[in-house]
Structure 1
Amino acid sequence: MAVQAQVKSLGNIRRQFEPWNDPAERPLIEVAGVTKRFGTFTAVDDLSLGIYRREFFALLGPSGCGKSTLLRMLAGFEEPTSGDLRLEGQSLVGVPPHKRPVNMMFQSYALFPHMSVEKNVAFGLKQDGMAKSEIADRVAEMLKLVKLTPFAKRKPQQLSGGQQQRVALARSLAKRPKVLLLDEPLGALDKKLREETQFELMDLQFELGLTFVIVTHDQEEAMVMADRIALMREGRIAQVATPAVIYEAPVSRYVADFIGNVNILDATVESRSDGRLRLAGPGGAIEVETPLALKPGAKAGIAIRPEKMRIGRDRPAGAVNAFEGEIYDIAYLGDVTLYVVKLRTGELMRATVINAARGIEAPLTWDEAVWLSFAPDAGVVLVD
């Protein structure tokens, strides 16, 4: 396991907001040793977690890791097999969904097709017995908030997917819950609309000052929107951190490999000096800055992000970590070009180059001999 570096969050940075680093702050939501079993299958395994007031929190992970089960337990649709769920210090175990100050927005939106937009938004308020005049005011407020006032009389099938998503959001917010739970809310949208909606959700959450908990398997979605991310694996938490920390200082191979693209080199520790480890890796010696004090002979993985790799035809002068190879594949992605390089020892390494100019005179091409290099502070040492 790596020691987390002190990385300033580059994620949702519109505000100074780090209550998890304040010992005086208590989480709004406390998940305390929660386990959920379905027969012999353990979906959530002795999981503990704190989510703070006004936080935009993401549960991220592959299918079957337990993130949706955890969200459903917070909503009250499932009960824990053991452990406790608390909101503002009060246990939620045994409290039915309609009596919890939380609301949930589903991936399918679950809109009533026979009702207009305004009636969909008003449905929960009517169920709670709110006065008609108050309902009308609240619905108008919600539709204005999600920019759907001109569409109040339309039916859901007369709206685009993005507009339907905003109707579902308005309905979820109409009851003014303390916590809004979002289960893959953008999954049905196309890529461009999904990106636009991510920023709309961030702005809305910030404006309302609510706590949002979102479940997603899309790492980019979590990185864009969340104050913190909990990456899950087989019912447990692999790492909880800000987007910048979880990307730049992963605590395990699983985290490093799940978040973004990464190169991981297997190496053996040779010595430590002046805050650096010297390791024997494929193609030669590797030096990495790290707080870990590993003993000679210890096995470790060195994780380097492709954008931190340098690629060129000549060996860079003075480079500590340099590897010779041959271009195995090339992917032009518009903003960057991805090079897959096969080292002389057989490993495949990735390097990305920003396409800052519209064209270059002598671009690197397939089967060309190249050198890869990275700075000692660009690698992260992983022992798990």
Structure 2
Amino acid sequence: MAATASTQASTKSLGNIRRAFAPWDDPAQKPLIEIAGVTKRFGGDFVAVDDLSLNIYRREFFALLGPSGCGKSTLLRMLAGFEEPTSGDLRLEGESLVGVPPHKRPVNMMFQSYALFPHMSVEKNIAFGLKQDGMAKSEIADRVAEMLRLVKLTPFAKRKPQQLSGGQQQRVALARSLAKRPKVLLLDEPLGALDKKLREETQFELMDLQVELGLTFVIVTHDQEEAMVMADRIALMREGRIAQVATPAVIYEAPSSRYVADFIGNVNILEGTVEERQGSRLRMAAAGGTIETETPVALKAGDKAAFAIRPEKMRIGRTRPETYGINAFRGEVYDIAYLGDVTLYLVKLPGGELVRATVINASRGVEQPLTWDEEAWLSFSPDAGVVLTA
């Protein structure tokens, strides 16, 4: 791990790093979970998961992200043992899970509904699975006390679920899932029932808890922000397959396809044609102007490609900037949205393309702000976006 950390420190990083943890970059590290060529069919015709392979490492907080129907929940249910793969293998610490019933797997699953027993107190809900396993009463009491402390619910031990807030119920369900000390905790949209502010607070609590316990968490979510905040790595899924697996920063800053770029955050995708290629430097005609950038993608003059750039990477002003050379486009302010922390501008280019640019509201007032129908210049640095062909 020390070699990996030093390697990371000596190379340029895409985005902020939450923790110096990257076993997937270390060839000496063995995965905890191996999903090998797994396919899941329903009714013979519908393919929910399509020949999917994926490795997840010990102590990793891993997110399965994607739209409804992409196969992420089916994959999670196969890990839990509620579904069996049609073909392929699921391995935990090198041992196949295929055919192993859910109660005999060293994994536990936390559902969106929480499924708490309404007639039992908080401490009895947490103790339920331990009693089912025949654990001694003294050990159960110690384990329940430990779980209550971890989720900060010790004062609420005697209360019933209906006497708790939604966030507190979520923590009871989490404590119950962790009480049996599984090797892997599977979370199926665990924060979906919480309001926005509480969901944001709980995301950080889950991250801290996962690091403190040193467990492997696998979460399913359709909320990209939730995945970006909590996960060490994200697998973005599409129609039963994986579109890209990477850290949140790489997924956001270096998407592998138009689908990934468009799914994660806001993005401008400018379609164009390559004019010139010299080494890694590429020039392309797009949106009525010229884009100059660098890319490792193998392209030649005449090839079709797209340039993806995030709105916050755009600069907007009344005059053409000299800083970025040819990466400047003239347009007209089509719409404006004041969002408090940022202002979003929609600028219409001569070819009809609508391009987004965001400006951070660093001060409370703005002298001579841009207004609707006003001419504006958009510009960006050569390394602000990525070239896509897929």
Does structure 1 residue 29 correspond to structure 2 residue 33?
A: yes
After superposition, residues 212-231 of structure 1 pair within 5 angstroms as 212-231=217-236
Moved more, 94-103 or 279-288: 279-288
> Which residue does 2:204 correspond to in 1?
199
Aligned to 2:294: 289
Alignment TM-score, normalising by the size of structure 1 = 0.97
| Structure 1 position 198, deviation (Å) | 0.3
Q: Distance in 2 between matches of 1:365 and 1:196?
A: 36
Whether 1:279 and 2:284 are equivalent positions in the alignment is yes
| Residue 91 (structure 2) pairs with residue 86 (structure 1) | yes
In the TM superposition, 1:49-198 aligns within 5 A as 49-198=54-203
Residue 168 of structure 2 aligns to a residue whose secondary structure is helix
**For 1:32-90, what per-residue CA distance to the aligned partner results, in whole angstroms no more than 9, with x for missing partners?**
00000111110000000000000000000000000000000000000000000000000
Superimposed CA distance per residue, residues 68-116 of structure 1 (whole angstroms, 9 cap, x where no aligned partner): 0000000000000000000000000000000000000000000011110
Number of aligned positions between the proteins: 378
What is the alpha-carbon distance in structure 1 between the residues aligned to residue 377 and residue 279 of structure 2? Answer: 27
Asked if 2 retains the 8 angstrom alpha-carbon contact of 1:34 and 1:48, the reply is yes
Instruction: Give the letter aligned to residue 40 of structure 2.
Output: K
Deviations 1:168-204 (A, max 9, x none): 0000000000000000000000000000000000000
- Partner secondary structure for residue 35 of structure 1: strand
Distance of 1:53 and 1:327 partners within structure 2: 50
Q: Residue deviations 1:324-378, cap 9 Å, x none?
A: 1111111111111110111011000000000000011111111111011111111
Q: Say whether the 8 Å CA contact 2:15–2:253 is kept in structure 1.
A: no
Letter of the 1:237 counterpart: I
- Between the aligned partners of 1:284 and 1:128, the Cα distance in structure 2 is 68
> Helix, strand or coil: the match of 1:238?
strand
Tell me if structure 1 keeps the 8 A contact 2:14–2:253: no
Aligned 8 A contact 2:69 2:239 in 1: yes
Which position in structure 1 is the counterpart of 2:244?
239
TM-score, scaled to structure 2: 0.96
Structure 2 residue aligned with 1:300: 305
RMSD of aligned alpha carbons: 1.0
The C-alpha deviation readout for 1:195-249, integer Å capped at 9, x for no partner, is 0000000000000000000000000000000000000000000000001100000
CA distance in 2, matches of 1:285, 1:9: 25
| Distance across 1 between alignment mates of 2:64 and 2:85 | 17
* 3-state SS of 1:74 partner: helix
- Which of residues 321, 332, 339 in structure 2 aligns to 1:316? 321
Quote how far apart the aligned CAs of 1:274 are. Answer: 4.4
**Residue 376 of structure 1 corresponds to which residue in structure 2?**
382
Correspondence for 1:358: 364
Mapped pair 1:367 → 2:370:
no
Q: Secondary structure at the match of 2:284?
A: strand
Question: Could you say which residue in structure 1 is the equivalent of 2:51?
Answer: 46
Residue 20 of structure 1: which of 21, 24, 32 is its match?
Answer: 24
Aligned CA distance change for structure 1 residues 284 and 12 (closer, same or farther; 3 Å): closer
- Residue 305 of structure 2 aligns with an amino acid whose one-letter code is A
Task: Give me the whole-angstrom Cα distance separating, in 2, the residues matched to 1:360 and 1:208.
Answer: 48
1:336 aligned residue: 342
Distance 1:269 1:9, change over 3 A: closer
Identify unmatched segments of 5+ residues in structure 2: 1-10
Distance in 1 (alpha carbons) for counterparts of 2:205 and 2:66: 23
Is the partner of 1:73 in helix, strand or coil?
helix
Counterpart code for 2:319: D
3-state SS of paired residue (2:82): coil
Contact 2:349 2:355 in 1 (8 A): yes
Identity level (%):
85
Matched AA of 1:355: N
CA spacing shift, 1:82–1:198, aligned 2, 3 Å: same
Name the CA shift for 1:264/1:84 in 2 (closer, same or farther; >3 Å).
Answer: same
Residue 350 of structure 1 aligns to a residue in which SS?
strand
Q: How much has 1:292 moved relative to structure 2?
A: 1.7
